[in-house]
C-alpha cells in the first residue's frame, strides 16, 4: 500500500490518540493468545476481563471484528491529542443507525453467531448498549492505566515532531515500523495491501498506540481519514517498567530520586510517566521536578493534556558527565 503525499498533505498531517482503539485491541488480546504482549502485563487485566465475560455485548463486539478488520461505528476516528474516551463513546451513541446496520450486515454475513447475539445487534438500542458495555470495559480495564499510556503517546509525538523539524518526513516516519518508509514522495506500507492512492490534500492521521505493537494498522474507510496506527516509542516502559541506572556521583550531588529523574529525562516525559517508571509517588515526582526546574536542569512544555519535562543543555551536561 502506498500513499502519494503532496505539499498540502504535509501541512495537514496531524497526530491523535485513540482511547477506544486501545480498548478494542486490549479486548482482542485478552480474548485470544497474544504472544506479542508480555504475559505479566496482560495478567494485570485478567480479573477485570473476567468480570466482562458474561456480558452478551462482549460476544457482539467480537462478532464485529475479523483478524484484520473491525466495524467503524464502534471505533470512531479521533480528533486530536486531547481525545477522551467520553468523546469516543458519545460518537458511538450518535452514529447513524442505518450506517451501523450496514456494517453489522457486512460482518454477520462473514461469520456465524448465536441467535441472542444477532438479536442484540439488530436491536434499535444497539448503539447505546455497545457504548454502555465499552464504558464499563474501560472503567474496569484501562481507566487507571490510561494516564501513563497517554503520556507515552505524547512523548512519542514530541520526538517525531522534533525529527520532522530537524530532518523532514523521512526522519519523522522512521521508526513507525520496520515496514513503513518514505520513498519518492510517498509513504509505503509494506505489510499492507489494497487500494491507496493520493491523500488529495486531506493529510494523514498518525496515531501512536501501545496495543498495536509490534505491527501497524491502517484506516481509510469513511468517515476515517487515511490513518496509520503505529507502535509508540517507549512502550517497554509500560509493559515492563525498569528504572534507569543512576551514577553514584550524581546521586550524591542531587539526591537519588532527583538523579533518577534527571537520567530518565533523556527524552521528554510527564510526571505521570516518570512516577510509573521510577515507582515514585506522583506528588514526590512533581516536587523533585520543581527543584530541578528552579536549578535550570529541566524545562517544561505542554503537549496535549500533559506537561512534558526535558533536560536543558546544563542538565544534559551534568547527566552525561556523571555517566
H-helix or E-strand spanning residue 196: none
**Do 43 and 67 fall into the same domain?**
yes
Residue 87 predicted with pLDDT over 90: yes
164-173, 223-232, 234-243, 260-269: which has the minimum mean pLDDT? 234-243
pLDDT at 242: 63
**Do residues 141 and 23 both lie within one domain?**
yes
Q: What is the dihedral of CA 278, 281, 282, 284, to 10 degrees?
A: -100
Least confident of 10-19, 97-106, 156-165, 232-241: 232-241
Q: Are 110 and 169 found together in one domain?
A: no
Residue 215 phi, psi (nearest 5) = -100, -155
Q: Is the dihedral of CA 256, 257, 262, 267 positive or negative?
A: positive
Residues 152 and 215 both lie in one domain: yes
Domain count, the chain: 3
Give me 254's grid cell.
542531587
Question: In this predicted structure, what is the pLDDT of residue 54?
Answer: 92
The predicted model scores a pTM of 0.79
Average pLDDT of the chain is: 87
Asked if 227 and 270 sit in the same domain, the reply is: no
Residue 241 has pLDDT above 70, yes or no: no
% residues pLDDT > 90 (the chain):
43
Claim to verify: residue 31 and residue 99 sit in the same structural domain:
yes
What is the rounded CA–CA span in Å between residue 72 and residue 92? 9
CB atoms within 10 A of CB 179: 12
Residue 222 belongs to domain spanning: 2-15+147-237
Distance CA(269)–CA(303), nearest Å, equals: 10
Cα–Cα dist 138/136, whole Å = 5
Model confidence at 323, pLDDT cuts 50, 70, 90, reads: low
Quote the CA–CA distance of 323 and 315 in Å, as a whole number. Answer: 13
What is the distance between the alpha carbons of residues 166 and 158, in angstroms, rounded to a whole number? 12
- Given a cut of 90, is residue 83 above it in pLDDT? yes
What is the pLDDT at residue 107?
95
- Mean pLDDT to the nearest integer, 250-276: 87
Determine the average pLDDT of the residues in 306-315.
88
pLDDT of residue 116: 95
Residues 267/234, Cβ–Cβ less than 8 Å: yes
C-alpha 250/C-alpha 258 separation (Å) is: 9
Q: What is the pLDDT of residue 103?
A: 95
42 CB contacts (<8 Å, ≥6 apart)? 29, 30, 34
Q: What is the pLDDT of residues 163-187, one digit of tens each?
A: 777 777 778 787 787 788 888 888 8
Give the mean model confidence (pLDDT) for residues 71-94: 94
pLDDT at position 308, please? 86
Residues 167 and 180 reside in one and the same domain = yes
Give yes or no: residues 207 and 317 share one domain: no
* Cell numbers describing residue 16: 491523535
Percent of the chain with pLDDT over 70: 95
pLDDT at position 240 over 70: no
For residues 218-222, average pLDDT: 80
16 vs 201 pLDDT, higher one = 16
Distances (CA, A) of 150 to 217, 237, 309, 313: 18, 12, 15, 27
Question: Are 34 and 114 contained in the same domain?
Answer: yes
Domain limit, last residue, from 196, 218, 237 = 237
One domain for residues 31 and 102: yes
Contacts of 292 (CB under 8 A, 6+ apart): 254, 258, 261, 262, 298, 315
How confident is the model at residue 196, as a pLDDT?
A: 64
Confidence of residue 34 (pLDDT cuts 50, 70, 90): low
Same domain, residue pair 221 and 256: no
Which pLDDT score, from 0 to 100, does residue 195 have? 63
Looking at 146, 169, 194, the residue that finishes a domain is 146
**DSSP-H helix ranges across 18-125:** 19-31, 39-43, 46-50, 56-63, 85-93, 97-108, 115-121
* pLDDT value at residue 160: 83
Is residue 220 pLDDT above 80, yes or no?
no
pLDDT of residue 20: 97
Helix (H) / strand (E) element for 307: namely strand 306-311
pLDDT at 100: 96
DSSP string, 257-268: HHHHHHHHTTS-
Amino acid at each position: 500500500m502506498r500513499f502519494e503525499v503532496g505539499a498540502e498533505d504535509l501541512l495537514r498531517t496531524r497526530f491523535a490518540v485513540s482511547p477506544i482503539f486501545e480498548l478494542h485491541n486490549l479486548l482482542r488480546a485478552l480474548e485470544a493468545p497474544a504472544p506479542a504482549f508480555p504475559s505479566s502485563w496482560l495478567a494485570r487485566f485478567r480479573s477485570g476481563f473476567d468480570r466482562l465475560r458474561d456480558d452478551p455485548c462482549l460476544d457482539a463486539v467480537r462478532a464485529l471484528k475479523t483478524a484484520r478488520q473491525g466495524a467503524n461505528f464502534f471505533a470512531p476516528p479521533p480528533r486530536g491529542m486531547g481525545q477522551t474516551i467520553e468523546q469516543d463513546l458519545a460518537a458511538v451513541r450518535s452514529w447513524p443507525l442505518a450506517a451501523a446496520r450496514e456494517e453489522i450486515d457486512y460482518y454477520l454475513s462473514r461469520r456465524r453467531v448465536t441467535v441472542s447475539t444477532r438479536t442484540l445487534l439488530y436491536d434499535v438500542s444497539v448503539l447505546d448498549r455497545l457504548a454502555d458495555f465499552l464504558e464499563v470495559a474501560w472503567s474496569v480495564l484501562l481507566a487507571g492505566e490510561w494516564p501513563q499510556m497517554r503520556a507515552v503517546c505524547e512523548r512519542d509525538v514530541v520526538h517525531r515532531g522534533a525529527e520532522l523539524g530537524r530532518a523532514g518526513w523521512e526522519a519523522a516516519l522512521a521508526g513507525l515500523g520496520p515496514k513503513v518508509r518514505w520513498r519518492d514522495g510517498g509513504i509505503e506500507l509494506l505489510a499492507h495491501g489494497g487500494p491507496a492512492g493520493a491523500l488529495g490534500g486531506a493529510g494523514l492521521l498518525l496515531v501512536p498506540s501501545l496495543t498495536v505493537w509490534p505491527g501497524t494498522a491502517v484506516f481509510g474507510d469513511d468517515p476515517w481519514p487515511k490513518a496509520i496506527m503505529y507502535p509508540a516509542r517507549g512502550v517497554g516502559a509500560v509493559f515492563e517498567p525498569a528504572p534507569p541506572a543512576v551514577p553514584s556521583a550524581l546521586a550524591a550531588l542531587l539526591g537519588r530520586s532527583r538523579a533518577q529523574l534527571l537520567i530518565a529525562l533523556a527524552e521528554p516525559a510527564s510526571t505521570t510517566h516518570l512516577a510509573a517508571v521510577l515507582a515514585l509517588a506522583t506528588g514526590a515526582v512533581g516536587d523533585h521536578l520543581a527543584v530541578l526546574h528552579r536549578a535550570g536542569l529541566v524545562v517544561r512544555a505542554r503537549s496535549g493534556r500533559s506537561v512534558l519535562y526535558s533536560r536543558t543543555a546544563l542538565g544534559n551536561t551534568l547527566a552525561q558527565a556523571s555517566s
